[in-house]
Amino acid sequence: MAGDHHNQLRDRTQEKRQFTRRTFMAGAGVLVLMGLLGGRMGQLQVAGHQRYATLSQANRVKLVPLPPNRGLIYDRNGIVLAENRPNFQLLLTPEQVPDMDVTLAGLGEILDISDAEMDRFQGLRARSRHFEALPLKVRLTDREVAAFAANRHRFPGVEVEARLSRHYPHGPHAAHAIGYVGRINERELRRVDRRRYGGSSHIGKTGTELQFEERLHGHAGLEQVETNALGRVIQPLGRRAPEPGDDMVLTLDSRLQRVAEVAMGDESGSIVAMDVRTGDILALASMPSFDPNIFVNGVDRATYAALQEDPERPLFNRAVRGQYPPGSTIKPFIGLAGLEHGIFDPDETVFCPGHFSIDNVSHRWRCWRRRGHGNMDFLDAMIQSCDVYYYKLGYELGIDRMAAFLERFGFGRAPGVGIPGERSGILPSRDWKRQARGEGWFHGETIITSIGQGYFLSTPLQLAHATAIIANRGVSVGPRVLRAVHDATNGETLATEEAQRKRVVELDDESLWDVVFKSMEESVHGDRGTGRSIRSDLDYRIAGKTGTSQVFSLGQDEEYDEEELQRRFRDHALFTAFAPADNPRIAVAALVEHGGSGGAVAAPKVRQVLDAYMQGIGGETNHG
Amino acid sequence: MAELADRATSSRHISVLQRVLHLDVQLVTALLLLSCAGLAVLYSATNQSVDAVQNQIIRMSVAFTAMVVMAQIPPDTLRRWTPWVFLGGLIMLVLVLLVGTVGQGAQRWLDLGLFRFQPAELMKLAIPMAVAWYLSMRPLPPSLFSVLLTTVAIAVPTGLIILQPDLGTALLVSASGFFALFLAGLRWRVMVTVMLAIVAMVPVFWLFLMREYQKQRVLTLFDPERDPLGSGYHIIQSTIAIGSGGVFGKGWLNGTQSQLDFLPERHTDFIFAVFAEEFGLIGVLQLLALYLFIIGRGLYIAVNAQDTYGRLLAGSLTLTFFVYVFVNVGMVSGLMPVVGLPLPLVSYGGTSMVTLMAAFGILMSIRTHRKLWAS
């Protein structure tokens, strides 16, 4: 044993000697290279000193970055949604201002500076680097510009400059989809390519402004200028022009978007309209909305706090981020799963006594209609939205087959439409529950899942997309918000986005699509249809499904009195539809938060959007 | 009988710092001195911004804390963790590329919810650790097979970092791996062959793996003249700043080049030019001497380390530190192409400083956790 050790030790000694030798070699290398650096310094600082000292005296060459013009954002018909407007701004560079308080007080004497502007400026100052020029006041009038010019000498470090500033001409219109730009913060500054962003002060913060930042921004140019000793520009020496950002053409139709926004009125909620053949999102409304212009040059605290604290959450993009139980709007999907897996034949009936129970479980699952629907076949169960039929169907289908089928319609997955922050909702399954809750699946949960309650959550965008997949008989197209990219200088089309087209659902019996189509059409046009409130005076056919999703669950035997509940406890109203029923072109999903009944509240809003579309808004002209 | 392996550290000389906190007095002193010099230049380079100096002090505190923490971990423990650290780092590098496809320009960060993290930084430690770990289990000098395996272990993460793209870090991590190999006694002819092999892999990256904008960046890196108004301008301005400083310098806060805004990036990558302008050749030589002392101390720790793992790791980390200094000063003085590496402990910025100080923590751990040697 001792011998082994000895042997190993000799090896190690040899290795150690080798290491020491190599380390000395490396050390020698370090010395040589350090000597090289020292020599270079001597060369510059001793031999070259005279020359460089002279150059430094005469050094009058500065680089001035030239920020590029940001690309514009258009709707599909060329209506400008985001543009750049020249305006005069009063800019302060903190490091050049000798006494900030005196300067601000002095400026307050000659210009009208509101408390909000002052507050906004102080906020900017706290967040920005001291050598950045920060706007104290934007959009100066000619009179104000003149007033400042006369007093300019009193204010070192303060300038009036004509700058291009992002402007959203329609204010709150489509604000969530378009998004907005704001001043670049420290964190973003670290992320961006500084050469591209030289001189740029703004960057996309949300929506398409953020999503397409890379292309919208463009590439900064540089100008070499000769300056006098004080740094004032005498003459330009060389120039590399900035490359402007590209223009983005969205799939949105501003007119249809407005119809959706108006339809929503004072309610909180979302309407998403989608061309089922192209995957184009035609309207992506989230209400209430906000004016994105206030964020461009920094927002004052009071305004921001008001937006933040508004219980209706205007900044929240419900269309892609709002996750709600789909309620009965899920029934066409579950129903199709049941038919496809042969749980029921379309003609087979289930008796609805108003409740449903399973062996060995005391709980009773109630139908929304307490006295029951009687015998229900597939068509009747859809038209009248019978819960018991779906309880039984879902229970026999089982959660695994249900989840696998629904997944193909995009539930449980962010659709990737091109708006940052899309949520994926929740498609309940055994795997999901194990991961999210660390628990196994209970049979009772399958039952409640089959009417789109329980853990089930989806966004309005997901619902519209899933409906479009039904309308396309199993083909998913898009969804997408970007239609094309145009060169800002010559208007040439740089890229047209091809929507992703994929068959996601294949049925053994393709005629089942017709059964589902018919059931959704009858839900609107049938005499007992839950969506019949919108069927009058229709010169085209709508296929749709109502939904009412519980915000919180009531105890089994509690009576439900809507009048007594506060509004915020009221159910969400949903409606999802496509039209025309025989040759679908558009799919629309609407969600009205605490709206109550899907048929009475959400369906009419969808109809307004469909009517507008059928009259040619967002329609044929743009489809190849 | 037992005796201490290293007689230089005889018991009565071991200070409290060394015994209780596992710190190396000489190294800590030199690093603190360097930090103070760094803060002084930073104050000048930021036009006397107290905010910037305060921020930097906070970052330095974090970095020194990282050093103290790392110094507490015995090298044996570190060695046991090595394969997992390396694997974890590799997975995160892949994740960064996958998650990062949406982002713009370089995607280097991984959002861990609570804080964000740059896996490439971890690799600066993980690669020398992994190479030292592997080679310490083999007879040295390493066999051809060992060399090949090690090269792959270095090349894969390096490639991933190039894809981010973060060429400065790629350079550092590949150098750190190479140093460990070199110190382990890599044979000269193998060294030349491997070098050639790496050169041969470049076209593969270029043709198949890199995107157009990444290629553009690389081209500008090696040829600043492609971008005469960008990097070329930086070099002209920084050499003027250095040269005009002369032997004695213009004095603290009096560098005209730096103060009058001619020098770009003057508080980050180009801060050395500010230092050279204001403190002259005398200051520069003192600063370089301080760096040289730190490197010398690191190599001394390496030579006196007790086992192969400690020796290779300490040596490789120290030489990597030298690469920082050499590349940065060489770049600012116009000897080398512009590679975005900071001047350690002087440039403004935090991420790489934390890694660097963690590396010094490892050195100190190797120095201070000594086993009694039975013979």
| Residue-by-residue DSSP string for A184-201 | --HHHHHHS-TTTTTT--
Q: Which residues of B touch A246 (CB under 8 A)?
A: none
Distance CA B160, CA A17 (A): 36
Inspect the interface and report whether the beta carbons of B105 and A38 lie closer than 8 Å. no
Pairwise pLDDT comparison (A2 vs A79), residue with the higher score:
A79
Say if CB A178 and CB A283 are below 8 A apart.
Answer: no
Neighbours of B75 (CB within 10 A): 23
**B-contacting residues of A 198-217, CB under 8 Å?**
213-214
Nearest-CA distance A16 → chain B (Å): 8
CATH annotation of A254-296+318-475+501-618: 3.40.710.10
- pLDDT value at position A624? 35
Residue A588 has which token pair?
């629309």
Q: Which residues pair with A575 in a beta bridge?
A: A546, A590
Break chain A into its structural domains and give their ranges: 63-250, 254-296+318-475+501-618
- Minimal-distance CA residue of chain B relative to A43: B243
Residue A6: exposed, middle, or buried by beta-carbon count in 10 A (0-12, 13-18, 19+)? exposed
Pairwise pLDDT comparison (A55 vs A538), residue with the higher score:
A538
Break chain B into its structural domains and give their ranges: 12-368
Q: What is the mean pLDDT of chain A?
A: 84
Pairwise pLDDT comparison (B115 vs A612), residue with the higher score:
A612
Average pLDDT over residues B105-133: 74
Query: Is A458 strand, coil or helix?
Result: strand
- pLDDT value at position A111? 85
What spatial distance separates the first Cα and last Cα of chain B, rounded to whole Å? 8
pLDDT at B78 over 70: yes
Q: Does ipTM top 0.85? A: yes
- pLDDT value at position B112? 52
Inspect the interface and report whether the beta carbons of B292 and A19 lie closer than 8 Å. no
- pLDDT value at position B214? 58
pLDDT digits (tens, 9 = 90+) for B231-267: 566 777 788 889 888 899 888 887 776 665 666 677 7
**B-contacting residues of A 39-98, CB under 8 Å?**
40-42, 44-46, 48-49, 51-53, 55-56, 59, 61-63, 95
B360 touches chain A (CB under 8 A): no
Average pLDDT over residues A233-256: 83
Give the dihedral sign, CA B18/B21/B24/B30: negative
Lowest mean pLDDT across A187-196, A228-237, B72-81: A228-237
Q: What is the mean pLDDT of chain B?
A: 82
pLDDT digits (tens, 9 = 90+) for A439-471: 888 888 898 899 988 889 999 999 999 999 999
Pairwise pLDDT comparison (A114 vs A37), residue with the higher score:
A37
Give the dihedral sign, CA A140/A141/A144/A145: positive
pLDDT at A415 over 80: yes
Nearest-CA distance B280 → chain A (Å): 7
Inspect the interface and report whether the beta carbons of A22 and B185 lie closer than 8 Å. yes
Instruction: Report which of A464, A83, A72 is spatially closest to residue A250, judged by C-alpha positions.
Output: A72
Inspect the interface and report whether the beta carbons of A59 and B240 lie closer than 8 Å. yes
- pLDDT value at position A554? 45
Say if CB B67 and CB B364 are below 8 A apart.
Answer: yes
Residue B127 has which token pair?
């690669």
Q: Which residues pair with B203 in a beta bridge?
A: none
- pLDDT value at position A131? 66
Pairwise pLDDT comparison (A198 vs B334), residue with the higher score:
B334
Distance CA A162, CA B100 (A): 37
Average pLDDT over residues A242-256: 90
Distance CA B369, CA B375 (A): 19
Query: Of all residues in chain A, what percent carry a pLDDT higher than 70?
Result: 90
- pLDDT value at position B372? 61
Say if CB B38 and CB B345 are below 8 A apart.
Answer: yes
pLDDT at B128 over 90: yes
Most confident of A7-16, A96-105, B332-341, B358-367: B358-367
- pLDDT value at position B19? 74
- Minimal-distance CA residue of chain B relative to A28: B296
pLDDT digits (tens, 9 = 90+) for B53-75: 888 999 899 999 999 999 999 99
Strand ranges inside A211-354, DSSP E: 218-219, 221-227, 233-240, 243-244, 247-250, 269-275, 281-287, 350-352
- pLDDT value at position A5? 42
Lowest mean pLDDT across A207-216, A343-352, A401-410, B3-12: B3-12
- pLDDT value at position B38? 93
CATH annotation of A63-250: 3.90.1310.10
Say if CB A174 and CB A81 are below 8 A apart.
Answer: yes
Cis peptide before A580 (omega within 30 of 0): yes
Distance CA A176, CA B126 (A): 44
Say if CB B150 and CB B195 are below 8 A apart.
Answer: no
Q: Which residues pair with A350 in a beta bridge?
A: A376
Taking the model in full, what pTM does it have?
0.61
Neighbours of A595 (CB within 10 A): 24
- pLDDT value at position B69? 94
Q: Which residues of B touch A48 (CB under 8 A)?
A: 243
Per-residue H/E/C for A213-232: HHHHHEECEEEEEEECCCCC
Average pLDDT over residues A467-480: 91
Strand ranges inside A321-393, DSSP E: 350-352, 355-356, 365-366, 374-376
Average pLDDT over residues B297-324: 94
pLDDT at A78 over 90: no
Q: Which residues pair with A588 in a beta bridge?
A: A273, A577
Inspect the interface and report whether the beta carbons of A45 and B262 lie closer than 8 Å. no
Inspect the interface and report whether the beta carbons of A56 and B295 lie closer than 8 Å. no
Active centre residues of A (catalytic):
328
Lowest mean pLDDT across A503-517, A584-598, B337-351: B337-351
